[in-house]
Amino acid sequence: MYVYYCSRLLSSSHSCPFIPTIIHFPPCMHKLHKMYVCSGQCSLLTIFSNLSFMFSIELAWAVEVAERTASLVARWQGVGFIHGVLDTDNTSVLGLTIDYGPYGFLDAFDPSYTPNTTDLPGRRYCFGNQPDICLWNIKQFTATLSAAQMINDKEANYAMERYIWKF
């Protein structure tokens, strides 16, 4: 079972790598770097070609995911896009918009607007909360990497700081 989910994580398809796969199957994470570097398939180095090698590959990956996510949500905010259900299974490690579900655009600036009618009572995914929700998703991602002993807690915090800086 872990092999299947690891292979999905390691797929070169841009639609495959997403955060819940990583969160639900951390036992396969310790093999991630070896599998990417040694496989004949698309490597981490190809997908994330601008990783900084001042850090471990795992920390560089966490930072890259955080920065890509921050750039994505900043672009959403720039055009008034609202992702209606922005939980971890709708967050890509490639910084792509996936599984929109209900989504919408602002007609006029309203930070509390949400296109998701089931979100109306608490407005968790409203326009104004999108950056914080993405940061929370990054926190879950880095906590998983930390639990798998790929990065430590200080490095996880650094990745989240990079999200804030980039946004």
Give the pLDDT of residue 32: 52
Q: Which of 89, 99, 119, 153 is catalytic?
A: 89
Mean pLDDT throughout 110-132?
93
Alpha-carbon span 82 to 75, nearest angstrom: 11
Give the pLDDT of residue 119: 87
* 89 flagged as catalytic: yes
Give the pLDDT of residue 95: 85
- Using the structure block, give the residue that is written with the tokens 């998703």: 137
The closest alpha carbon to 148, from 4, 11, 22, belongs to 22
Alpha-carbon span 20 to 166, nearest angstrom: 23
State pLDDT tens for residues 1-18.
Answer: 333 333 333 333 444 444
Give the pLDDT of residue 38: 39
Question: Would you list the domain boundaries of the chain?
Answer: 57-165
State pLDDT tens for residues 53-80.
Answer: 456 899 999 999 999 999 999 999 999 9
The closest alpha carbon to 146, from 138, 155, 133, 137, belongs to 155
* Minimum mean pLDDT range among 27-36, 48-57, 142-151: 27-36
